[in-house]
Structure 1
Amino acid sequence: MLVVEGLTRRFGTLKAVSDASFVIEPGAFVGVIGPSGAGKSTLLRMINRLVDPSEGVIRFGNENVTALTGRDLRRWRRRAAMIFQQFNLVGRLDVLTNVLMGRVATVPAWRSLTGLWPEDDKVVALSALEQFDIGSLAAKRAEHLSGGQQQRVAIARAMVQEPELILADEPIASLDPRNTRVVMDALLRINRHFGITVLCNLHSLEIARSYCDRLIGMAAGRVVFDGAPVQLTDALARDIYGLDSEQVLDGSARAPEPRVRAGAFGEAAVA
């Protein structure tokens, strides 16, 4: 269980996040919604401890995440895998090596520096790529992939960390509609098949309503909504999105429904 209590982050006199509090049960798929500048990215970066909170507490199970340092903090970042909008791949390296970077915490430093990865880790990485239908790209340089393919590589890299929590920071912001669906389907399969908790920042209300079990709405750094997608009325959405609300609501009216089919994970999978 992830518990956030009174989380605040100041940058000078600006409060990027102000007194955020919520609890996320294991296995949930939660969307954090709101306009640009609402504090969504800062919130996820604090949970991952890429940004330190100014105030408040983050707990995961019995562990006080806000107090972690050194090796314990590195272990937490393995348990709470981060997926970024910019993919954060090394373009000149092949896809398999990029995925293997997710295993860095489990091998001696000399192995990752020399590229002498254990065979077992290579098998794990290839299996992750196959799960997202990109196993055939293992030998290609990451810079030669499409945006959607690169994001799936980033998700595979997160998966080989064997995380308990995935923090996805606007993972579809730079993708076209088709690749948006592919990436969101991949995250949903991870959540449904493996039971991994997903906390995903999304600007699009259409996508959030389609994929998430629960929405946390942010505006001006504060949590202003927390509930099921069906509880988010158009009036509440206008309050959250402000000047962007009409554009957001127009898109939400055409929200696609995730489909379920037999997929790469074996049994029924969301596609």
Structure 2
Amino acid sequence: MLVLDGVDRYYNNKAAVSGVSLSIPSGSFVGVIGRSGAGKSTLLRMINRLVDPTAGSIRFDDLDVTRLNGQALRDWRARCAMIFQQFNLVGRLDVLTNVLMGRLNKVSTPRALMRMWSEEDRAIALSALEQFDIANLAAQRADSLSGGQQQRVAIARALVQEPDAILADEPIASLDPRNTKVVMDALLRINKHYGITVLCNLHSLDLARNYCDRLIGMSAGRLVFDGAPAALTDDVARELYGLEAGEVMDHAPAARPQETSGEAIAVAV
């Protein structure tokens, strides 16, 4: 169970996130929605401790995330993987090495620096790539791939961390419709196969309604909606997004999510 209690984050006396309290049971697929600048990215980054809360507490089961530092904080970031809009891959390195970076917390620093990966680590990374149909790209430089391929590599890297939760910050913002579906199907499959909690910032309400079990709506840093996708009516969406509502309520026919296509990734989680 992930629990946020009265979490604030201020920048120069301006609230990016204000008074957010919520509980997220393990195994949930939660969409975080709201207009640009609503505090969605800051919220996810605080959970991962890339940004420290100004006030309040974040707990995961019996772990006080807000008090972690040093190795304990690195361990938490391994358990709570991040996926970014801009992929955050090392472009000059090959795909397999980028995925293996997700295993850094499980090997010694000297071995990681010398890229002395075990056969088990390589097998886990290749298995993840195979699941996302990109094992044939393992030897290619990451910066030679398309945006959709790079995001699948980033998801594979997150999965080999063997996380308890995955935080996806606008993971499909720069992708075309086909790759959007591939990436969202991948996140849903991970959630359903392994029971890994997924928190995903999304711009499209149709995608949020189609993939998520629960939606959290933010406005001006505050939590203003928390409920099932069916409860997010068009009227509520207009209140949440204001003038941006027309951009996110496209009502294009949503492709049915594929929860179980292919074999499950052979990763111990």
TM-score clears 0.5: yes
SS in 1 for 2:97: helix
1:126-165 alpha-carbon deviations (Å, 9 max, x no partner)? 1111111111111011001010000000000001100000
Supply the distance in 1 between the matched residues of 2:107 and 2:210 (Cα, whole angstroms). Answer: 39
Q: Which amino acid aligns with 1:254?
A: P
State the percentage of identical aligned residues: 68
Give distance in 2, aligned partners of 1:96 and 1:247. Answer: 37
Deviations 1:220-255, CA, capped at 9 Å, x for gaps:
111100000000011110111111012222x13533
Letter in 2 for 1:264: E
> In the alignment, what sits opposite 2:214?
214
Question: CA RMSD for the aligned pairs?
Answer: 1.2
Aligned partners of 1:50, 1:123: CA distance in 2, in Å? 29
| Aligned pairs for 1:1-271 within 5 A | 1-249=1-249, 251-252=250-251, 254-260=253-259, 262-265=261-264
Residues 106/260 of structure 1: CA separation in 2 closer, same or farther (3 Å cut): closer
Question: Closer, same or farther in 2 for the Cα pair 1:259/1:120, shift >3 Å?
Answer: closer
| Per-residue Cα deviation, 1:94-122 (whole angstroms, up to 9, x for no partner) | 00000000011111111111122111111
Q: Cα offset for 1:265?
A: 2.2
3-state SS of 1:252 partner: coil
Distance in 2 of aligned mates of 1:124 and 1:205: 34
In structure 1, stretches of 5+ residues that fail to align are: 267-271
Output the CA distance in 1 between the equivalents of 2:215 and 2:199.
10
Contact kept in structure 1, 2:204 and 2:248, CA below 8 Å: yes
* Letter of the 2:44 counterpart: L
Label 1:261 to 1:194 Cα distance change in 2 as closer, same or farther (>3 A). closer
Structure 1 counterpart of 2:94, which letter? D
- Whichever residue aligns with residue 178 of structure 1, its letter is R
The question of whether the paired residues in 2 share the 8 Å contact of 1:30 and 1:216 is answered with yes
Query: Closer, same or farther in 2 for the Cα pair 1:260/1:105, shift >3 Å?
Result: closer
Distance across 2 between alignment mates of 1:97 and 1:106: 15
How many Å separate the matches in 2 of 1:206 and 1:232? Answer: 11
Give the letter aligned to residue 136 of structure 1: N
Alpha carbons 1:207, 1:256 under 8 Å: kept: no
User: 1: distance between equivalents of 2:83 and 2:261?
Assistant: 26
